[in-house]
Structure 1
Amino acid sequence: MTTLGNDVMEEGADRYNVPALERGLRVLCEFSRENRTLSAPELARRFDLPRSTVFRLLTTLESMGFLERAEGGRDYRLGLAVLRLGFEYLASLELTQLGTPLLQRLCEELRTPCNLVVRDGRSIVYVAKVAPPTPFASSVTVGTRLPAHATVLGRILLEDLSLPQLRALYPEDKLETFSPSTPKTVNELFDMVQSDRDRGYVLGEGFFESNISSIAAPVRDHSGHIVAALGATITSGHIEEARMDEMVQRVRETADAISGLLNYSPAAKVVALRGGHRA
């Protein structure tokens, strides 16, 4: 049970917090792929709040378009205002504004889907995607979230983390596996991403999905931190080694070009890891 009322008022909370606003935002965060619709009684139970309080929150969010009634009228689901906010966020990202034209050009050159992703905690989030007109239909769209530790693009985005930071992000003894290639422990994940870091790119065959290969390279900002990963998805069968080398080179060059637009200078040192050695 989420004791929302207590959490908001607990000692040490920021005195500038607005409890009612925080409650409303936490209500929105309860909706997900697993919880597409929720009722007022269910939300009241989760937050340990009076139904009257939850009803007022839901009514306010509904009036602003952030929630709408599901079929039947008893349950609620996310409204179009949430989608509009999401698209406005993507449009405001300097990364997508500057990177999308280069992503488009890379897609045309390689004739394969190309993506930009960022990390949100333990997940990667697709913020830009360009795909050629092919029969291949991908379930991945802008906004799709996938596990960082189990994807090629996620491995890129974890490269800046030291071993203690990775352990804080993944405190469990065993990592969830999605394919035979998924690292099973944090130590294994750390060794993998540091090898990727030294190499400068990742080429993974069937790492997350069988019969699909990915090439990924880091995008860095002016500070030298990795802020995104650029990837190309290869859905065809065997590719000649020379062609694959060419594709890897173009992905790396495009990632470097986007980094340059974000004022990253190759002359500047890449962020050094702190406490990054195996215990």
Structure 2
Amino acid sequence: METDDRYIVPGLVRGLAALQAFSNEKKELSVSELADIIGSNRSSAFRIAYTLEHCGYLHKSGDSRRYALDSKVLDLGFTYLSSLDLLEPSRPVLARLRDDTSLACHLVIRQGRDIVFVDRCQATGPFTSTVGIGTRWPAHATVTGQQLLSDLTDEAIRELYRDYQWETFTEGTPGSMEQLIARIHQVRGLPALISWGYFNPGMAACASPIYRLSDNAMIASVSVSCPVGAFPRDEFEGRIKDAVVTASQVLSRTLSINNPQF
């Protein structure tokens, strides 16, 4: 999307970048660390952190020299998720899928070049998923992300990844625009995608798309995950895959019935 820099508010851009600087790996940040991540000087980073603290989006940790996200950040995410009309109808479907497979089940959407886990049903078997709500993974490197990207045209994908610094995780990760486009051509239209160590060498996953039936747009994905070897591969690619596809189809129909706009 083209932008007119005259209307950009630099301070707001830096403030949003500061909130995005926190992650599971960086739950607490000093002012100096924050300055390095957002590319500002220490004085500017301090003012941004102080403002976000005053507004309730950050708080100081125990030693009072480091900052962490505060609970008000959740208001932004839950307001957005509520606007999707997606969470409430998805929970019984995810619960049934979990009961049928004993696996951790996830609801996933795409935001830009990332996939975001927006809901989860924990596994009933011995494997406990460490993927929390709000976790972001690169879309190009995961089967769930590639599935959600496949709803875009090739031109839209090229624009989305223009000037992207490609990061690879396994031999299967697309490392260039042409490799990603070729992969999207392979998966476009498939009812489900299987990962057998595709993103994380030790993990298996299966994802199936959720559609808005009014215009056949792909709005989210249902996925399950477990360690590679938790099931024989033929069972995972058979019974487990069929259960995931059924769950995505049920949720697509449920959304359409509950909300005619779907």
State whether TM-score is above 0.5.
Answer: yes
What is the CA deviation profile of residues 57-106 of structure 1, one whole-angstrom value per residue up to 9, with x for unaligned ones?
54443233211123432343222221344345435531111111101101
**Alignment check: 8 A CA contact 1:65 1:81 kept:** yes
1:208 is the counterpart of 2:204: no
Matched-pair identity in %: 31
1:106 matched residue in structure 2: 97
1:244 matched residue in structure 2: 237
CA shift at 1:206, angstroms? 0.9
CA shift at 1:209, angstroms? 1.5
**Alignment check: 8 A CA contact 2:35 2:42 kept:** no
Partner amino acid for 1:251? Answer: V
2:252 matched residue in structure 1: 259
**Alignment check: 8 A CA contact 1:38 1:77 kept:** no
1:231 is the counterpart of 2:223: yes
1:125 matched residue in structure 2: 116
| CA distance in 2 between partners of 1:197 and 1:254 (Å) | 19
Within-5 A mapping of 1:83-102: 83-102=74-93
What is the CA deviation profile of residues 174-213 of structure 1, one whole-angstrom value per residue up to 9, with x for unaligned ones?
7321011212222222222222223322122111112322
Q: In structure 2, do the counterparts of structure 1 residues 54 and 220 end up closer, same or farther at CA, with 3 Å as the change threshold?
A: same
Structure 2 unaligned spans of 5+:
258-262
> Is the radius of gyration larger for structure 1 or structure 2?
1
Alignment RMSD, CA only? Answer: 3.3
Report the number of matched residues: 251
TM-score, length basis structure 1: 0.75
| CA distance in 2 between partners of 1:112 and 1:28 (Å) | 32
What is the CA deviation profile of residues 13-69 of structure 1, one whole-angstrom value per residue up to 9, with x for unaligned ones?
17xx7x876665454344444473142896499576894x76665444323321112
2:159 matched residue in structure 1: 168
Range moving further from structure 2, 140-149 or 25-34: 25-34
Q: In structure 2, do the counterparts of structure 1 residues 73 and 261 end up closer, same or farther at CA, with 3 Å as the change threshold?
A: same
Structure 1 unaligned spans of 5+:
1-8, 265-279
TM-score, length basis structure 2: 0.80
What is the CA deviation profile of residues 153-173 of structure 1, one whole-angstrom value per residue up to 9, with x for unaligned ones?
111111112222222222358
**Alignment check: 8 A CA contact 2:18 2:38 kept:** no
